[in-house]
Amino acid sequence: MAGPVLHTPVCALLGIDVPIFAAPMGPAITSPELASAVSNAGGLGLISFGGCPPDMLRALIQRMRELTTRPFGINMILEFPADALVDLCLEEKVPVLSFFWGDPSRFVERAHRAGAKVIDQVGSVDAAKRSAGAGVDVIIAQGVEAGGHIAGNVSTMVLAPRVVDAISPTPVIASGGIADARGLVAALALGAQGVVLGTRFLATPEANAHPMYKKKVLESTEEDTVRTTMFGYGWPNAAHRTLRTAFVDEWLSNEARGSEQRPDEPVIGETTFGGKRLTMRRFMGFPPGADATGAIESMPLLAGQSAGLVNEIKPAAEIVRELVESARRIIDDQLRGYTEPRP
Ligand SMILES: Cc1cc2nc3c(=O)[nH]c(=O)nc-3n(C[C@H](O)[C@H](O)[C@H](O)COP(=O)(O)O)c2cc1C
């Protein structure tokens, strides 16, 4: 990659140039266009896949290969069946398998034999130890300020160094609350070797999020998200962070209702899932895609506290470039100045 360098050991491990990961925002918010833009800019694009026939995964991998020759990863949520998907990824020589919400230990040996690296996103020191102990190559420590589903209770500022201390020398990547170079440098200072950005990459032309959803992210401050289990239709009792819309405010005192998965919840619109139109019922956990219709603001507008730092829509490659350039300025100029002797 031409351009400024920001290299940590995890870059060599994964074959990337800069330690910036695009979060796998499911089911389809991180599009192949977004993930490949980040991979092409020298980072690592991760794409979430689940709940669809394996043939669709094959097509998705092919699409990624059309868009990039750089490493990328497929993310699977272990709340849902993943064995067949893992087999297919390995058969297709996907460079990186990324897991969330469960124990990926059983996949590690198979993945390594096939030449793939394994990443697991965790929300606690215990889960990090479990996965690192099983040979997972890279652990993502996800703080509670993160957008989307959140695995733990601890902020990134505390969790990242705790995980680093617990599993060193396994590389740790920080996730949650990071949207600019200040967060990136802070994460490196905490001992992380890189960062995952979700909410920041949601506000890109490449993200497959509904325009209204992107607009709401831009308008929101760090105060405007909430951790809830409300959108539990399809994935009950699983905490997630979402924008605090009028709909969320209305139901927050009765958030358990969403996990009851009542088949007669009213239809609020449609979105595309797995190439088909999906009828969205109230409390369903699918964030609205670019072509969603209906009551968009009653759907889960998943986003993290870092929404407060996200004020404009920018191409993903530009975000990666700015992150690296500004991080270098902070490290080389600003921080160095603090340790220079006083005259
Ligand atoms: C809309 C959205 C969808 C997400 N979906 C997934 C997913 O499918 N799999 C996963 O591992 N993480 C998912 N996450 C969580 C991200 O991996 C990451 O932890 C989070 O975005 C980091 O916090 P940030 O949004 O402040 O950058 C999602 C996050 C968002 C915002």
**Per-residue pLDDT tens over the stretch 201-219:** 999 999 999 999 999 999 9
Tokens of 126: 């215990």
* pLDDT on residue 171: 98
pLDDT digits (tens, 9 = 90+) for 274-292: 888 999 999 999 999 999 9
Report the pLDDT value the prediction gives residue 343, as an integer from 0 to 100: 79
The letter for the amino acid at 185 is V
- For ligand 1, the distance from its centroid to the CA atom of residue 148, given in whole angstroms, is 5
HSE-up (13 A, CA, CB side) for residue 210: 23
Q: Which residue has the higher pLDDT, 342 or 93?
A: 93
Q: What angle do CA 206, 207, 209 make, to 5 degrees?
A: 135
140 in ligand 1 pocket by Cβ < 6 Å?
Answer: no
Instruction: Determine the CATH number of domain 9-206+313-338.
Output: 3.20.20.70
146 Cβ inside 6 Å of ligand 1:
yes
Predicted TM-score (pTM) above 0.75 = yes
The finding on whether 225 has its CB within 6 A of some atom of ligand 1 is: no
Give the number of the atom of ligand 1 that is nearest the alpha carbon of residue 77: 9
| Alpha carbon distance 229, 243 (integer Å) | 13
> CB of 187 closer than 6 A to ligand 1?
no
- Residue spans of alpha helices (H) in the chain: 9-14, 32-40, 54-67, 83-91, 105-113, 125-133, 156-167, 181-189, 199-202, 211-219, 246-251, 316-329, 336-339
Q: How far is the CA of 267 from the centre of ligand 1 (A)?
A: 25
Q: 322 C-alpha to center of ligand 1: Å?
A: 21
User: Where do the domains of the chain lie?
Assistant: 9-206+313-338, 211-306
Q: Confirm if 228 and 239 have CB atoms less than 8 A apart.
A: yes
Q: Cis ω on the peptide bond leading into residue 169 (within 30° of 0)?
A: yes
Query: Ligand 1: does its nearest atom lie under 6 Å from the Cβ of 142?
Result: yes
**283 Cα to the center of ligand 1, angstroms:** 18
Q: How far, in Å, from the CA of 80 to the mean position of ligand 1? A: 16
CA of 341 to the centre of ligand 1 (A): 43
How sure is the predictor about 92, in pLDDT bands with cuts at 50, 70 and 90?
very high
- What does the DSSP 8-state code read for residue 137? S
**Which helix (H) or strand (E) segment is 265 a member of?**
none
User: What pLDDT sits at residue 3?
Assistant: 63
Ligand 1: centre distance to CA 66 (Å): 25
341: left (phi over 0), alpha (psi -120 to 50) or beta: beta
Amino acid in the structure at residue 212: M
Other beta carbons within 10 angstroms of residue 238's beta carbon come to: 17
The Cα 93–Cα 76 span in angstroms is 16
Nearest-CA residue for atom 10 of ligand 1: 24
Q: 41: which 2 tokens?
A: 């800019």
Long-range contacts of 98-101 (CB under 8 A, 24+ apart): 98/24, 98/46, 98/73, 98/74, 99/75, 100/24, 100/75, 100/76, 100/149, 100/151, 101/77, 101/149, 101/151, 101/238
77 lines ligand 1 (CB under 6 A): yes
Distance 152 CA to ligand 1 centre (A): 13
- Residue 4 pLDDT exceeds 70: no
What does the block give as tokens for 141? 């420590």
CA of residue 226 to ligand 1 center, whole Å: 14
Q: Is the CB of 48 under 6 A from ligand 1?
A: yes
Is the distance from CB of 333 to CB of 325 less than 8 angstroms?
Answer: no
Q: What percent of the chain has pLDDT over 90?
A: 94
Pocket of ligand 1 contains residue 119 by CB under 6 Å: no
Q: What is the pLDDT, as a whole number, of residue 51? A: 86
Confidence of residue 342 (pLDDT cuts 50, 70, 90): confident
Which one, of 187, 158, 149, lies nearest residue 171 by Cα? 187
- Least Cα distance to 242 among 227, 257, 221 occurs for 227
Q: Give the Cα separation of 132 and 117 in Å (integer).
A: 13
Q: Which of 25, 119, 319 to mutate to test the pocket of ligand 1 (most atoms within 8 A of CB)?
A: 25
Token pair belonging to 313: 């829509």
